[in-house]
């Protein structure tokens, strides 16, 4: 995911939730991009280079501050780990009291968060575990985080209900002092929900995406914070959303739609915040599951996923979409990221038969 970073005002929190059908108001993003396909030549394929080494353990997320400052987080054995790349070497750290990390995000070299079975903050010199209240269920974990500044961060998470089975989702807000748990009440026809990503898009505004499971299938779950309450955008599309990206002032949500409700066959899903509504952007009917996305620095997107355990990189810009191969030997789930300046390399966390590795392309 790619972020537009900056300090925001501290926001009040309420647990109110409304369902919005059709329109959203008071948006702060520009909305000039067209969702109609435009004829354009596809970009040249990315030329991937691989770092000689990667941190040990099970790596789950990647944050790019610059080409000389990367963070990756995950777990090693039963301990949460965070590793920093300074342009030449990795330095790995453990965070006592936490078992694993699933996601990380930074607003600056001196302000970062990592989340998983708890939260930890980076102040420029050390990681510190920060208390957070999780829902009282069999299992609850945080799946994504957006670090906006010292006084504001957002995180989303998911739960497994008591006794197992499908669960629900929740939101956390950091106000500079503590995390506040928000447990939305979702519509009655949602049999289960999950939230996979969250991003702050301006003063008094944030968006979160995931999946609403219903009797007839899965639909995109899109939620908006307006500075006072969270509301649900009631999507009529089918599919699952996994990632949010701001590219050239435009907000996109990406994911996948199952083909004929197949659990093993899907096509990419891309949605765009178009004025007051979310619209589907035409991409490709080629098979592929999209799990991560980032801005390409030219108003487009680079998305990562897989199909039949083969790396898939989906490029989209000006209405043209192209699938291309990832780094040699890579397979399965990927995390793709770039720095907010739009001028750094594109970085990819993926794996091959020997384990996790990190690659980059200019």
Question: pLDDT digits over 255-282, tens only?
Answer: 999 988 777 789 999 999 998 799 999 9
Q: Are 48 and 61 in contact (CB under 8 A)?
A: no
The predicted pLDDT at position 34 comes to: 40
Report whether pLDDT(343) > 80: no
**Per-residue model confidence as pLDDT tens digits over 82-122:** 999 999 999 999 999 999 999 999 999 999 999 999 999 99
pLDDT at residue 4 in the model = 33
DSSP reduced 3-state for 261: helix
The residue-averaged pLDDT of 239-251 equals 96
Mean pLDDT of the chain: 86
What's the rounded Cα separation, in Å, for the pair 272 and 204? 20
For residue 83, what are its two tokens? Answer: 């590793």
Beta bridge partners of 15: none
State which fold the 47-361 domain adopts. Methylamine Dehydrogenase; Chain H (2.130.10)
What is the 3-state secondary structure of 86-145? CCCCEEEEECCCCCCEEEEEEEECCEEEEEECCEEEECCCCEEEECCCCCCCCEEEEEEE
338 contacts 106 by C-beta, under 8 angstroms: no
Task: Please tell me the distance from the alpha carbon of residue 189 to that of residue 85, in angstroms, as a whole number.
Answer: 46
> For 195-229, what is each residue's pLDDT tens digit?
999 999 988 999 999 999 999 999 999 999 999 99
Instruction: Tell me 281's DSSP state.
Output: P
Domain ranges of the chain: 47-361
Q: Which residue has the tokens 């993926």?
A: 350
- Would you give the distance in Å from CA 172 to the centre of its chain? 15
């Amino acid at each position: 995911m790619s972020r537009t970073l900056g300090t925001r005002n501290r926001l009040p929190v309420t647990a109110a939730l409304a369902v919005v059908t059709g329109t959203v108001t008071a948006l702060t993003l520009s909305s000039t991009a067209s969702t109609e396909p435009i004829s354009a030549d596809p970009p040249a394929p990315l030329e991937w280079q691989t770092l000689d080494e990667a941190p040990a353990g099970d790596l789950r997320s990647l944050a790019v501050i610059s080409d000389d400052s990367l963070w990756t987080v995950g777990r090693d054995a039963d301990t949460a780990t965070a590793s920093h790349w300074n342009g030449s070497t990795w330095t790995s750290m453990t965070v006592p009291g936490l078992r694993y990390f699933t996601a990380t995000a930074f607003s600056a070299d001196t302000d970062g968060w990592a989340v998983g079975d708890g939260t930890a903050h980076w102040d420029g010199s050390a990681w510190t575990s920060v208390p957070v209240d999780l829902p009282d269920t069999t299992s609850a974990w945080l799946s994504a985080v957006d670090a906006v500044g010292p006084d504001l961060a957002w995180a989303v998470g998911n739960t497994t209900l008591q006794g197992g089975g499908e669960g629900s989702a929740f939101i956390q807000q950091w106000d500079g002092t503590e995390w506040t748990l928000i447990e939305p009440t979702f519509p009655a026809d949602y049999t289960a929900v999950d939230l996979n990503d969250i991003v702050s898009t301006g003063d008094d505004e944030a968006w979160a995406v995931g999946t609403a499971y219903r009797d007839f299938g899965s639909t995109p779950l899109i939620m908006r914070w307006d500075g006072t309450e969270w509301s649900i955008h009631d999507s009529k599309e089918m599919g699952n959303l996994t990632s949010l990206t701001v590219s050239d002032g435009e907000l996109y949500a990406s994911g996948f739609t199952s083909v004929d409700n197949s659990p093993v066959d899907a096509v990419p899903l891309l949605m765009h915040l178009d004025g007051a509504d979310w619209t589907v952007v035409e991409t490709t009917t080629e098979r592929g599951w999209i799990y991560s996305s980032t801005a390409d620095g030219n108003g487009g997107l680079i998305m990562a996923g897989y199909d039949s355990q083969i790396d898939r990189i989906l490029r989209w810009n000006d209405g043209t979409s192209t699938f291309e191969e990832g780094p040699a030997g890579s397979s399965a789930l990927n995390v793709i990221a770039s720095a907010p300046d739009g001028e750094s390399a594109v970085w990819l966390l993926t794996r091959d038969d020997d384990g996790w590795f990190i690659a980059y392309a200019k």
